[in-house]
Copies of this chain bind each other. A is one copy, B any other.
């Protein structure tokens, strides 16, 4: 069989699986997940063995230390996967929730009810723990899931998948509900994302190249989890002591994550006062500072930024700094370079706050706080499958509710339209 037929078969099975998953109770779904967690615990040796193959191949291929680190499954990480599944079990099941009901004069009742999305494709890169995390979130919400991991992690992902599938099915999970693309052929992804009659959502988790390519070729709706190019804007009416504290936190508390600050925008009226202070504090924390011409002229320790800097998610102890003439200029900058993730204004002026809130088109807009709070736990969702930088269906952290949709259930006793 060719790749196209393989993907079609897999998608059809997933579609059947989704239909059956929609009939399972929360208790049944939790029992599938509990069996999966237990099985991962019981078969850790298989996971380590598979991971060793991937690690050896990765070293041979000269993967970077950072990539090798992401690939490695330590005792702690495997425990983390198991714990992750148990946390998903403990979360309330959103499926079936009533989202509103009204009656017509003829007695017809129209209910809006939360239901699973159907078949979700998760296309991810190097971290093998996504295999278990994504499966647990999708299955908890009665979806079928098709997993497609990175080629570097093929053996690790495959081992985790086999354990999950076997344990789930032994506990009564419908056969098609959990699927895994076993080939590393990249054309498999192209085939998969064409199958709009069977798949209902693609979530790509990875670099910009992966996401752009999938968006371009997919006929299935995609929710993008793009980079986090987060800005903090220090307004002319900012409390500068507060601003200093927030900027330090947003940049250095954990620089490698998507909600860390990458660019600092400072209103020209406070730049002379604020820039030297923030620059000194950040340099103390080993942050490399790159500024526009105006910033460099105020602080000669800054490196002159290039246009590329404004577009770069450093994920590192590097910060770009721009002096802006106005709030509008700050919003323009964010509009042009931002990634619709998380952006903050530091200001005591209510009007400036409101303009920023309304005009900055990001999933999370902050007033007088660090952007570092954007995540599923802080936002009250428990676990998240990622952070959507798209605008439809789900924005910001995507938890269980965001993996559902709704349908109208219309209950009658013979009503007809007059």
Binding site for B on A (CB under 8 A): 15, 19, 22-23, 102, 104, 108, 110, 115, 117-118, 196, 200-201, 215-216, 219, 221-223, 239, 242, 245-246, 248-250, 253-254, 331, 335, 355, 357-359, 361-370, 372-374, 378-380, 390-393, 395-396, 405-417
4 closest pairs, A vs B, by CB? A369-B412, A249-B416, A372-B417, A393-B393
Asked if residues A253 and B416 are in contact (CB atoms below 8 Å), the reply is yes
Say yes or no: B392 contacts A221, CB within 8 Å: yes
A-B contact pairs, 14 of them (CB 8 A): A22-B359, A110-B373, A115-B358, A201-B392, A221-B221, A221-B390, A364-B407, A365-B407, A368-B411, A369-B411, A373-B410, A373-B415, A374-B408, A396-B408
**CB-nearest residue of chain B to A372:** B417
* Closest Cβ–Cβ distance, residue A97 to chain B (whole Å): 14
Flag if B417 contacts A249 (CB, 8 Å): yes
Report which of B216, B250, B367, B405 forms a contact with A219, defined as CB distance below 8 A. B216
Given contacts A22-B358, A359-B22, A366 and B416 within 8 Å (CB-CB): no
A414 to B347, CA, bound (A): 10
CB distance from A342 to the nearest CB of B (A): 8
Question: Which residues in B have their C-beta under 8 angstroms from that of A357?
Answer: 409
Please judge, given known A-B contacts A215-B196, A379-B408, whether A355 and B23 are in contact too, CB under 8 Å.
yes
**A358 to chain B: which residues have CB within 8 Å?**
22-23, 115
Interface contact B23-A369, CB-CB below 8 Å: no
- What's the nearest-Cβ distance from chain B to residue A2, in Å? 21
Q: How far is the CB of A344 from chain B (nearest CB, A)?
A: 8
- By a CB distance below 8 angstroms, the chain B residues around A367 are 409-412
Contact B407 A395 (CB under 8 A): yes
Residues in B whose Cβ lies below 8 Å from that of A249: 416-417
A417-B373 CB under 8 A given contacts A392-B201, A392-B221:
yes
Distance of A96 from chain B, by nearest CB (Å): 9
B219 touches A368 (CB 8 A): no
Give min CB distance, A24 to chain B, whole Å. Answer: 9
Contact B368 A253 (CB under 8 A): no
Q: How far is the CA of A155 from the CA of B76 in the complex (A)?
A: 67
The distance from the CB of A282 to the nearest CB of chain B, in whole angstroms, is 14
What chain B residues lie within 8 Å of A102 (beta carbons)? 380
Question: A357-B409, A365-B410, A369-B410 given. 19 additional CB < 8 A pairs?
Answer: A15-B335, A110-B380, A200-B392, A216-B219, A221-B222, A221-B390, A223-B392, A249-B416, A254-B417, A363-B408, A368-B413, A369-B412, A369-B413, A369-B415, A372-B416, A391-B405, A395-B405, A395-B406, A396-B407
How many Å lie between the Cα of A110 and that of B379 in the bound state? 7
Closest Cβ neighbor of A379 among chain B residues = B110
Q: How far is the CB of A198 from chain B (nearest CB, A)?
A: 11
**Contact present for A253 and B417 (CB under 8 Å):** yes
Asked whether, in the complex, the Cβ of B200 is within 8 Å of the Cβ of A414, the reply is no
Cα A270 to Cα B248 with chains together (Å) = 74
A414 touching B362 in the complex, CB below 8 Å, given contacts A118-B391, A392-B392, A407-B395? no
| B405 contacts A365, C-beta separation under 8 Å | no
CA distance A405 to B380 in the complex (A): 19
Question: Using Cβ atoms and an 8 Å threshold, which residues of chain B touch A406?
Answer: 395
A2 to B370, CA, bound (A): 44
Contacts of A373 in B (CB 8 A): 104, 108, 110, 410, 415, 417
CA distance A322 to B362 in the complex (A): 51
Give Cα A361 to B411, complex, Å: 16
Are the C-beta atoms of A369 and B416 separated by less than 8 Å?
yes
Chain B nearest Cβ from A306, distance in angstroms: 21
A249 to B417, CA, bound (A): 7
Q: A362 to chain B: which residues have CB within 8 Å?
A: 407
Task: Determine how close the nearest CB of chain B comes to the CB of A259; give it in whole angstroms.
Answer: 9
Complex interface: chain B residues within 8 A of A363 (CB): 407-408
Q: How far is the CB of A199 from the nearest CB of chain B, in Å? A: 10
A412 touches B23 (CB 8 A): no
